Amino acid sequence: MGLTLYEKLVERHCIHRFSDDELLLYVDRTVLNEYTSPQAFTGLRKAGRSVRRPEAALGVIDHVNPTDPDRVASMGDPEAELQVAYFRRNCDEFGIELIDILDPRQGIEHVIAPEEGFILPGMVVAAGDSHTTTYGALGALGFGIGTSDIEHCLATQALRYHRQKTMRIEVAGRVPVGLSAKDLIMHLVHALGAAGATGHAVEFSGSAIMGLSVEGRMTLANMAVELGARGVVIQPDDAVLEWLAGRKRVPQGTHWQAMESDLCNLVSDPDATFDAVHCFDAGDVSPMVSWGVSPDQALPVSQAVPEPEAQPTASRQEQARRAIAYMGLQPGRPLEGLEIDRAFIGSCTNSRIEDLRAAAAVVKGRQVAKGVRAMVVPGSGAVRRQAETEGLDTVFKAAGFEWRQPGCSMCLGMNPDILGPGERCASSTNRNFEGRQGAGGRTHLMSPSMVAAAAVTGRITDVRRLGVAR
Amino acid sequence: MTVTWPLKANAALLLQPDIDTDLIMPKQYLKGIDRSGLSDGLFRPLRFLADGTPDPSFPLNHSPGNEAQILVTGPNFGCGSSREHAVWGLQQRGIRAIVGSSFAGIFCDNALNNGLLIVELAPSEVSEIAAAISAMPSIQITIDLARQRIEFGKDSLDFAIKPERRNQMLKGEDRIAGSLALARQMAEFELAYSIRYPWLLAKP
């Protein structure tokens, strides 16, 4: 019987098998940040252990740093300062390369690691951030781990691993013009639920997936963790090779050719079987907006806040009532037309150059609506510079957007970028959890172009109603 | 954390679905470099009302829930961020085991790595235990890990757990030491891997 791509990657990385499903799994790369790693390094020191392959780890400061337009080395907050100081010391003493705050490459780990050519098809990448699933877009198996497993991974270059069940999510057709990978993944999360892929490694396939750009696939794979996916893979194709070509750390010469020849092996066999299969048609996707406090509480922008009574169980009804109250909404209220206070374009889901281009195309020639504070936080220094080369910064600034420095920023508000209580935000991020962007803040997830449309109209708006500069 | 099995303790009900790790441990508690001080942050958005006063309806805010060492939770508990601070905070608050119908993968691994037992049951079984706790909030629940059994009043349920996780929890094994002990297998693997996939192992 054939194997799925996920099963092949697990086989390739199996160091030792304890039982059918329990193994010691080799990890090719890890990426470290300042907030989930400190206790892992402390653990190594206490046990007198070293880092087995320091060159297989990359340290990035991204969660706690401010993103003020003029970059400064200071974190501005003593706790963040201490965390960053400890991270610097850890990377230095254990020999791990650190992309520090004033480094021109600095940015969000899941934007930088691919940009640096640090992630390649066929790898296993485990890192201390749930959105490590992003790397599935490059044909690597990416999954998030906690601090104790970061320590395990640093010490051993491996993890005790329980093989996941397999799921294929196949999307036929093409994502309609004017829509994006964000709308597609929000559609899937809405359809399958926030635990729709729990316990599974997900392979995305089908013409709509392969028709996405590599950056679009990153958006999709990134947010698959909002389905509960414990790992993501997408078959790597020529588009991935083109995207990687010329990047700093990618293999050279015969090594590049070997990687290229290996691509045909990184595919699920035609007779491979999955534990679960879901099929969708991209033609059914609409511009999506979240209305609640879980990423699956989302609907097409043309629809209204649902009636809690329509939920199947008493606890789901209570959950919906609580979400609607937290969000300051009423059942039956149309999503379109909801007034916003803030607009945020950024995060590891949607801060790459294509995201900024899509948003700028909407913003061009328009102004941020009165009373709305709008921010763009590019995913990395490289994205920021590329956008400036293309004049996108001018478009945003002329419209009244703040053009800021890279970081995780208001996706989770560990830095000074937060919502005030009750503020309503159109956001290109990945999680609308209660208090995620600031205590009492109200997050509406959507695509970058939908955020741009909300910013310039002052209310949630179907971006397709606005003429878009091409 | 050392837990003596079997565990006999009160349980608190937290049946709301999709309790994410931002709710379990909000961001303002994530800026430490050690594991201390997390008890204060535990479930903070759920423990307090908007005006800052404790929510009387939150089970951990009053007796006997405030003495609970077992949580009985709704589906998809621990979804979202990978922050292990959520697990450390639960343990610092005295929680030793969580019983529920489904758990997010990273949270589950984090919990078990720290010796916080995760017991996954069918939704109907969770409802059965929840009904017993609702009927008598002071009921003592026994979790016998060695026998993989939960006892509540006159009733009991068997549960499944991966054998390696059960053994690790019972013996308090150092998992990293276990992996490091496979040094020979690791060396053989890395050699073969470097020959077969040299572009992946080459210094980036």
Q: What is the pLDDT of residues B11-35, one digit of tens each?
A: 999 999 999 999 999 999 999 999 9
Is A369 exposed, middle or buried, given 0-12, 13-18 or 19+ CB atoms closer than 10 A?
middle
Provide the pLDDT for residue A467: 74
Q: Which domain holds residue A334?
A: 288-465
Task: Read off the pLDDT of each residue in A388-392 and give the average, rounded to a whole number.
Answer: 98
SS3 A56: helix
Residues A309, A219, single domain; the answer is: no
* Cross-chain Cβ contact B22/A435 below 8 Å: yes
* Cross-chain Cβ contact B87/A146 below 8 Å: yes
Residue-wise burial string across A242-259, b where 16 or more C-beta atoms lie within 10 A, e elsewhere: ebbeeeebbbeeeeeeeb
State which residue of chain B sits closest to A41, comparing Cα positions.
Answer: B33
| Cα dist from A417 to A108, A412, A420, whole Å | 15, 9, 10
Residues A39, A87, single domain; the answer is: yes
One-letter identity of residue B68: A
ipTM strictly over 0.85? yes
Examine residue A445 and state whether it is found in any structural domain, yes or no: yes
Tokens at residue A470, please? 């091409």
* Cross-chain Cβ contact A144/B106 below 8 Å: yes
CB A13 within 8 A of CB A26: yes
Tell me how close the Cα of B117 comes to any Cα of chain A, in angstroms. Answer: 15
Tell me how close the Cα of A330 comes to any Cα of chain B, in angstroms. Answer: 19
Residues A351, A427, single domain; the answer is: yes
What percent of chain A has pLDDT above 70?
A: 100
* A470: pLDDT strictly greater than 80: no
Orientation of helix A38-47 relative to helix A78-94, angle to 10°: 50
Provide the pLDDT for residue B3: 65
CB A141 within 8 A of CB A10: yes
Task: Pick the closest to residue A24 from B186, B97, B192, B200 (CA basis).
Answer: B186
Give the position of tokens 């389905």. A227
Provide the pLDDT for residue A73: 86
Q: Which ranges in A367-422 belong to alpha helices (H)? A: 381-389, 392-399
The domain boundary residue, chosen from A222, A247, A276 = A276
Residues A246, A345, single domain; the answer is: no
| Cα dist from A155 to A47, A48, B47, B179, whole Å | 10, 10, 38, 9
Tokens at residue A396, please? 């945003």
* Cross-chain Cβ contact B82/A56 below 8 Å: no
* A14: pLDDT strictly greater than 60: yes
Interface size A-B, in CB pairs within 8 Å, comes to: 187
* A469: pLDDT strictly greater than 80: no
* Cross-chain Cβ contact B75/A195 below 8 Å: yes
CB A382 within 8 A of CB A108: no
Tell me how close the Cα of A391 comes to any Cα of chain B, in angstroms. Answer: 33
Task: Read off the pLDDT of each residue in B70-77 and give the average, rounded to a whole number.
Answer: 98
DSSP, res A301:
T
Give tens-digit pLDDT for A22-67. 999 999 999 999 999 999 999 999 999 999 999 999 999 999 999 9
Handedness of CA B20, B26, B32, B37 (dihedral sign): negative
User: How many whole angstroms separate alpha carbon A33 and alpha carbon A27?
Assistant: 17
Provide the pLDDT for residue B204: 59
Interface of A with B in 418-457 (CB under 8 A): 421, 431, 433-436, 439-440
Nearest to A433 among B22, B32, B75 (CB): B22
CA angle B133, B143, B61 (to 5 degrees): 45
User: How many whole angstroms separate alpha carbon A52 and alpha carbon A61?
Assistant: 22
CB A27 within 8 A of CB A126: yes
Q: Could you tell me if B79 lies within 8 Å of chain A, comparing CB atoms?
A: yes
The domain boundary residue, chosen from A276, A306, A340 = A276
Examine residue A259 and state whether it is found in any structural domain, yes or no: yes
Residue-wise burial string across B95-104, b where 16 or more C-beta atoms lie within 10 A, e elsewhere: bbbbbbbbbb
Q: Which domains does chain B have, with CATH numbers?
A: 7-173 (3.20.19.10), 174-204 (no CATH)
* Cross-chain Cβ contact A39/B87 below 8 Å: no
Give the position of tokens 């059994």. B149
* Cross-chain Cβ contact B110/A194 below 8 Å: no
Residues A254, A314, single domain; the answer is: no
Half-sphere exposure for A31 (CA within 13 Å, toward CB):
29
User: How many whole angstroms separate alpha carbon A17 and alpha carbon B164?
Assistant: 12
Tokens at residue A409, please? 């920023």
Nearest to A258 among B22, B26, B198 (CB): B198
pLDDT category at A280 given cuts 50, 70, 90 is very high
The domain boundary residue, chosen from A245, A276, A307 = A276
One-letter identity of residue A178: G
Examine residue A233 and state whether it is found in any structural domain, yes or no: yes
Residues A59, A93, single domain; the answer is: yes
Tell me the pairing of strands A124-127 and B149-152: unpaired
pLDDT category at B79 given cuts 50, 70, 90 is very high
What percent of chain A has pLDDT above 90?
A: 98
Provide the pLDDT for residue B201: 84
* Cross-chain Cβ contact B27/A413 below 8 Å: yes
Tell me how close the Cα of A335 comes to any Cα of chain B, in angstroms. Answer: 23
Residues A244, A315, single domain; the answer is: no
In the predicted model, what is the mean pLDDT of chain A? 97
* B1: pLDDT strictly greater than 60: no
Interface test with A, best of B16, B164, B194, B200 (most A CBs within 10 A): B200
Residues A244, A302, single domain; the answer is: no
User: How many whole angstroms separate alpha carbon B35 and alpha carbon B92?
Assistant: 9
Q: Concatenated DSSP letters for B156-176?
A: EEE----HHHHHHHHHT--HH
Give tens-digit pLDDT for B88-110. 999 999 999 999 999 999 999 99
Other beta carbons within 10 Å of A29: 25
Residues A227, A201, single domain; the answer is: yes
Task: Pick the closest to residue A433 from B22, B34, B128, B11 (CA basis).
Answer: B22
Examine residue A281 and state whether it is found in any structural domain, yes or no: no
| Cα dist from B201 to A110, A432, B190, B196, B198, whole Å | 21, 38, 9, 10, 5
User: How many whole angstroms separate alpha carbon A216 and alpha carbon A203?
Assistant: 15
Task: Read off the pLDDT of each residue in B34-41 and give the average, rounded to a whole number.
Answer: 95
Residues A191, A310, single domain; the answer is: no
**What dihedral do alpha carbons B126, B127, B130, B131 form, nearest 10°?**
-150
Give tens-digit pLDDT for A317-367. 999 999 999 999 999 999 999 999 999 999 999 999 999 999 999 999 999
Interface of B with A in 112-141 (CB under 8 A): 113-114
Task: Read off the pLDDT of each residue in A172-177 and give the average, rounded to a whole number.
Answer: 96
Looking at residue A404, which CATH number applies to its domain?
A: 3.30.499.10
Q: Could you tell me if B102 lies within 8 Å of chain A, comparing CB atoms?
A: yes
Task: Pick the closest to residue B39 from B2, B94, B118 (CA basis).
Answer: B94
Residue A12's contacts (CB-CB under 8 Å, 6 or more residues apart) are: A122, B197
* Cross-chain Cβ contact B198/A255 below 8 Å: yes
* Cross-chain Cβ contact B186/A117 below 8 Å: no
Residues A228, A174, single domain; the answer is: yes
Give the position of tokens 């990359």. A58
CA A212 to chain centre: 16
* Cross-chain Cβ contact B162/A22 below 8 Å: yes
User: How many whole angstroms separate alpha carbon A189 and alpha carbon A196?
Assistant: 8
Q: Whole-angstrom distance between the N-terminal and C-terminal Cα of chain A?
A: 49
Give tens-digit pLDDT for A425-440. 999 999 999 999 999 9
Residues A271, A310, single domain; the answer is: no
Is A470 exposed, middle or buried, given 0-12, 13-18 or 19+ CB atoms closer than 10 A?
exposed
Nearest to A122 among B104, B164, B197 (CB): B197
User: How many whole angstroms separate alpha carbon B161 and alpha carbon B164?
Assistant: 8
Provide the pLDDT for residue B190: 96
One-letter identity of residue B170: L
Task: Pick the closest to residue A430 from A452, A419, A446 (CA basis).
Answer: A446
| Cα dist from B188 to A216, A309, A447, whole Å | 38, 59, 47
Number of structural domains (chain A) is 2
